[in-house]
């Protein structure tokens, strides 16, 4: 009986097995095995491999130095008929792995059993460590210009394709620029006789941006703005002749962020994020910390960490809506009367959080002081008692809503002006309602008291990755107005500034 094409097709997500292994008695012992989330960057949109039966692709990593080794097994291989041939697995994988990953299995086992690897320590410098039981969790960091960091990145970059939707690997040429910093998360267990005590758990990369030309003040009436002149042979590279990189302010953008599946759900992603955040907050050269195109799970982790941090600051805790602010039926929202903006902007610069993210956190904090019964007061069955205190909270809630709608309108003006006035108001109210629902969901995670808050935070699901893109790309995210479909719970916006 002739076989059908389906008999020779395998789903690549199922076929690919990723393992962490340790050396043992001259061979390797598997300690964790997991599947990728995506394989379409390697095997195509259908995520299907043709030409094999009972196919298994084993991508084995030495748990300490992450040396990769590929082992492919199958029971039958399709015999080529004309132009129809089995998928060339090595050819496809070779774009994502170093050449030595395709050595035969005995060579891989021999390499990871090298006695010198018993003394392996992660590349770079130790940034932070904490102990749990008989294990320590360490975060190391180093610059991409370091050859040891570059070697590790080459081994890890396939993980970007396998776990970050739309992720793009960092080009080798970019590593040498020294503008990437890599943070590595390791578990350090008890010492053993055969292997290093270190187990790789995850990593993130941060790219440093330098402003090239500052904004100039407006020219005086009747005069022309003075142009910036560069040498005739200038390629606008920085630093300028009279400056060094250490003199320039930088914006540090977190790009790739991966916690391996066996270590997700234990709060390790939250600890890595908060450590990276604290590192750049204490860096005098960094003026702003941004995130590149985060997904929803990462958004949650970031929001919770940032909000808990800001709540430790007295000036943030003291934020309060001015219920005496006068709001006219027509005209602009008096945002500076509702909430004084100058000290708020100074606080934002102090904590180095990007403008839109900081605005969202302020909105969450202000909403947290408004009881849920007041937020639901538009529904008759939830009307609270008609007291003076209730009326003041209701006014506070209305002013809060104006601030949120003002921000949404500014970021979505081009879309909103396409609508009729009444439809514009309805759409803005719809999106503001979705934003409020999402804030309430996040605030609900912080309602259990300080100890419970930390436990809740550490339990955030860690399918957490920031989608990496080329360094020049600006992320499009936020509370984007969709004029044709109903908004989802997690509303997105297209912002003018970095996230």
The domain spans of the chain are: 7-117, 312-458
**Rounded-to-integer distance, Cα 413 and Cα 408, Å:** 8
For every residue of 164-231, DSSP letters joined together read STT--PPPHHHHTTT-EEEEEEEEE----SSS-SEEEEEEEEEEEE--SSPPPPPPPTTSPPPPP---
Q: Which two tokens stand for residue 30?
A: 């598997």
Q: What is the pLDDT of residue 242?
A: 56
Q: Which two tokens stand for residue 131?
A: 């102990």
**Rounded-to-integer distance, Cα 461 and Cα 464, Å:** 8
Q: Is 85 annotated in the active site?
A: no
Q: What is the pLDDT of residue 133?
A: 86
User: Which residues make beta-bridge pairs with 27?
Assistant: 24
The total of other beta-carbon atoms located within 10 Å of residue 53's CB is: 14
Query: b/e for 175-190, b at 16 or more Cβ within 10 A?
Result: beeebbbbbbbbbbbe
Q: Which residue has the tokens 């070697």?
A: 151
Residue 266 per-residue DSSP state: S
Q: What is the pLDDT of residue 418?
A: 87
Q: What is the pLDDT of residue 230?
A: 41
Find out whether 288 and 327 touch, Cβ atoms under 8 Å. no
Residue 102 per-residue DSSP state: G
Find out whether 285 and 347 touch, Cβ atoms under 8 Å. no
pTM above 0.85, yes or no: no
Nearest to 298 by CA among 448, 447, 464: 464
**Rounded-to-integer distance, Cα 497 and Cα 499, Å:** 6
What stretch of H or E contains 56? strand 56-62
Q: What is the pLDDT of residue 232?
A: 41
Q: What is the pLDDT of residue 240?
A: 52
CATH of 7-117, one of 3.30.70.890, 3.40.50.720, 3.90.360.10, 3.40.50.150: 3.90.360.10
Q: What is the pLDDT of residue 190?
A: 87
356: left (phi > 0), else alpha (psi -120 to 50), else beta? alpha
Catalytic residue among 47, 138, 288, 292: 292
Q: What is the pLDDT of residue 187?
A: 97
Q: What is the pLDDT of residue 219?
A: 56
pLDDT tens for the chain, 499 residues: list them.
456 667 899 999 999 999 999 999 889 999 999 999 999 999 999 999 999 999 999 999 999 999 999 999 999 999 988 889 999 999 999 999 999 999 999 999 999 999 999 999 999 999 999 999 889 999 999 999 999 999 999 999 999 999 998 888 887 777 777 889 999 999 999 877 778 999 999 999 999 987 554 555 555 555 554 544 444 443 444 455 555 666 688 999 999 999 999 999 889 999 999 999 999 999 999 999 999 878 787 889 999 999 999 999 999 999 999 998 887 776 677 888 899 999 999 999 999 999 999 999 999 999 999 998 888 644 444 555 677 888 889 999 999 999 999 999 888 888 888 888 888 888 888 999 999 999 999 999 887 544 444 444 544 334 344 443 333 333 434 454 544 333 333 333 333 345 5
Q: Kindly report the average pLDDT of the chain as a whole number.
A: 83
**Rounded-to-integer distance, Cα 255 and Cα 291, Å:** 6
Binding-site residue positions for acetyl-CoA: 257-259, 295
What stretch of H or E contains 445? none
Q: What is the pLDDT of residue 182?
A: 97
Find out whether 16 and 35 touch, Cβ atoms under 8 Å. yes
What stretch of H or E contains 30? strand 27-34
Nearest to 64 by CA among 21, 101, 124: 21
3-state secondary structure of 314: helix
**Rounded-to-integer distance, Cα 374 and Cα 370, Å:** 7
């Amino acid at each position: 009986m002739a076989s059908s094409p389906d008999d020779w097709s395998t789903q690549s997500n199922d076929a690919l097995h990723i393992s962490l292994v340790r050396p043992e008695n001259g061979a390797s012992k598997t300690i964790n095995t997991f599947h990728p989330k995506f394989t379409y960057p390697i095997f195509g949109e259908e995520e299907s491999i043709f030409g094999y039966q009972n196919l298994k692709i084993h991508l084995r990593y030495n748990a300490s130095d992450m040396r990769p080794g590929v082992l492919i097994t199958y029971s039958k291989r399709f015999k080529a008929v004309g132009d129809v041939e089995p998928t060339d697995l090595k050819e496809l994988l070779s774009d994502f792995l170093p050449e030595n990953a395709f050595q035969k299995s005995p060579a891989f086992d021999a390499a990871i059993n090298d006695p010198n690897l018993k003394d392996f320590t992660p590349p770079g410098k130790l940034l932070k460590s904490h102990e749990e039981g008989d294990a320590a969790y360490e975060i190391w960091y180093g610059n991409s210009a370091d050859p040891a960091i570059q070697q590790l990145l080459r081994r890890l970059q396939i993980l970007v394709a396998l776990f970050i939707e739309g992720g793009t690997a960092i080009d080798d040429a970019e590593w040498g620029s020294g503008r990437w910093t890599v943070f590595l998360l390791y578990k350090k267990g008890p010492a053993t006789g055969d292997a290093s005590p270190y187990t790789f758990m995850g990593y993130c990369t941060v790219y440093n941006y330098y402003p090239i030309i500052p904004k100039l003040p407006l020219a005086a009436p009747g005069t022309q703005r003075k142009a910036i002149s560069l040498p005739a042979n200038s390629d606008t590279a920085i630093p300028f002749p009279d400056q060094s990189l250490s003199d320039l302010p930088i914006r540090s953008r977190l790009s790739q962020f991966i916690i391996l599946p066996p270590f997700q759900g234990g709060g390790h992603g939250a600890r890595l994020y908060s450590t990276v955040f604290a590192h750049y907050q204490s860096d005098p050269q960094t003026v702003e910390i941004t995130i590149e195109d985060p997904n929803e799970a990462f958004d949650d982790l970031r929001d919770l960490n940032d909000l808990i941090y800001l709540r430790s600051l007295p000036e943030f805790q003291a934020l309060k809506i001015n219920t005496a602010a006068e709001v006219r039926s027509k005209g602009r929202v008096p945002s500076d009367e509702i909430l004084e903006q100058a000290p708020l902007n100074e606080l934002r610069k102090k904590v180095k959080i990007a403008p839109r993210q900081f605005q969202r956190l302020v909105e969450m904090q202000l909403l947290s002081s408004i009881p849920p019964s007041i937020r639901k007061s538009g529904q008759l069955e939830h009307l609270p008692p008609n007291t003076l205190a209730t009326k003041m909270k209701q006014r506070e809630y209305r002013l809060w809503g104006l601030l949120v709608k003002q921000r949404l309108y500014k970021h979505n003006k081009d879309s909103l002006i396409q609508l009729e006035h009444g439809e514009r108001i309805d759409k803005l109210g719809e999106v503001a309602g979705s934003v409020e629902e999402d804030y309430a969901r996040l605030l609900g995670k912080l309602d259990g008291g300080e100890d419970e808050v930390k436990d809740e935070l550490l339990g955030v699901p860690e399918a957490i990755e920031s989608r990496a893109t080329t360094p020049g790309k600006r992320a499009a995210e936020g509370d984007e107005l969709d004029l044709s479909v109903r908004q989802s719970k997690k509303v997105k916006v297209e912002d003018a500034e970095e996230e």
